Amino acid sequence: MRRYVHPETEDIELPGVLFALSDATRLGMVVELSDGVERTAGQLGGEIAKSTVAHHLKVLREAGVIFVRSEGPRCYNSLRTEDLEARFPGLLGHVLPLAEREYR
């Protein structure tokens, strides 16, 4: 089973989060995850190449935006809503409604 490294809540940095959210593909993935449902890379990637999806998910994970959970051969991605709210109160509340207009 694959193990992923995630930053601790107190180590999540605003520039990294903003960089991760600055890409339209990654922002779309975050919008999809904002409903609280875990999704695999295949469910988030659509028609994008697997290697590109993996890259985008790595950027989001390393920035502390998503959490990746391994279960057997599958990996499930979820939005770290509580951690981001604790670290940057209101950030997702401002960004997600605007992004949903574009990516839903």
Secondary-structure percent of the chain, ordered helix, strand, coil, rounded to 5: 60, 10, 30
CATH code for the domain in which residue 14 is found: 1.10.10.10
pTM for the predicted model, two decimal places: 0.94
Answer yes or no: is 64 within a domain.
Answer: yes
Answer yes or no: is 4 within a domain.
Answer: no
Which two tokens mark 41? Answer: 């890379």
Q: Compute how many other C-beta atoms are within 10 angstroms of the C-beta atom of residue 32.
A: 17
The mean pLDDT of 16-29, rounded to a whole number, is: 96
67 lies in which domain range? Answer: 9-103
Answer yes or no: is 16 within a domain.
Answer: yes
Answer yes or no: is 1 within a domain.
Answer: no
Q: CA 25, 5, 99 angle in degrees (round to 5)?
A: 25
The confidence band for 102, taking pLDDT boundaries of 50, 70 and 90, is: confident
The percent of residues in the chain predicted with pLDDT above 90, rounded, is 86
Q: How many domains does the chain have?
A: 1
Q: Compute how many other C-beta atoms are within 10 angstroms of the C-beta atom of residue 97.
A: 11
